[in-house]
């Protein structure tokens, strides 16, 4: 089985491997989109990255929830990850990635600049998926070469499409999927502009649409 990626909107995704159902940032979509999770990854403790109702709908008895220390303090049961820390779940490896904000005031989240944030790399089925979260490019990413890059293009709280395109050109993924549009920030025009500017192949996923990797 290939890795399947489903987009629910904003920064919310479902990643399916042969043996695992992995949710990232359960916020967008409907309650029915969330069920039978093996793993839930939360990039930051903020309303548009973690809706507790959807998280609880996704959870079952053996679900693992991982995120920042703030997430671990608010969600029970759950665990925390430090940047560059790795965890393995059978055929899936998750690596927490540091997040670098664009500016001190975090594009409108004034006072939130100290909030903990993470990105995630998911490695499974011979594929490498990189969810950048709310991060901008960092030099160490030039060697990553992920199969798919999930990158924010909203332009209000995250990078503009132009900024995101420059970052993606350096990271050089096989595919890029724009996120953080059509919800609290950005529109589909942001996603389309990113697609027009970037060098790598881009798939603009509508909410509920999937991509097989």
Domains defined for the chain, CATH in brackets: 4-203 (3.60.15.10)
Q: For residues 94 and 210, what is the distance between their CA atoms, to the nearest angstrom?
A: 21
Task: Judge if the upstream peptide bond of residue 131 is cis by omega within 30 degrees of 0.
Answer: no
C-beta of residue 23 within 8 angstroms of C-beta of residue 60:
no
Positions of E strands within 19-118: 21-24, 39-42, 64-67, 79-80, 86-89, 92-97
To 5 degrees, how large is the angle CA 84–CA 167–CA 111? 65
- For residue range 84-127, list pLDDT tens digits in order: 999 999 999 999 999 987 654 444 444 444 568 999 999 999 99
- For residue range 69-84, list pLDDT tens digits in order: 999 999 999 999 999 9
């Amino acid at each position: 089985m290939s890795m399947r990626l489903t987009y629910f909107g904003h920064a919310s995704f479902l990643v399916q491997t042969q043996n695992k159902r992995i949710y990232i940032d359960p916020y967008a979509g409907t309650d029915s989109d969330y069920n039978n999770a093996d793993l839930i990854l939360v990039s930051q403790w903020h309303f548009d990255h973690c809706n507790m109702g959807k998280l609880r709908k996704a959870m079952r008895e053996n679900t693992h929830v991982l995120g920042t220390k703030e997430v671990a303090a608010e969600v029970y049961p759950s665990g925390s990850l430090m940047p560059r820390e790795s965890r393995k779940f059978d055929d899936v490896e998750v690596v927490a990635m540091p997040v670098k904000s664009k500016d001190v005031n975090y594009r409108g989240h004034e006072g939130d600049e100290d909030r903990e944030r993470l990105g995630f790399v998911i490695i499974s089925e011979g594929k490498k998926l990189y969810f950048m979260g709310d991060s901008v490019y960092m030099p160490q990413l030039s060697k990553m070469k992920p199969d798919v890059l999930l990158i924010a293009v909203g332009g209000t709280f995250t990078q503009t499409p132009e900024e995101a395109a420059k970052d993606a050109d350096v990271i050089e993924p096989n595919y890029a999927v724009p996120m953080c549009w059509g919800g609290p920030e950005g529109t589909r025009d942001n996603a389309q502009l990113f697609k027009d500017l970037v060098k790598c192949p881009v798939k603009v996923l509508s909410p509920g649409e999937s991509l097989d990797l």
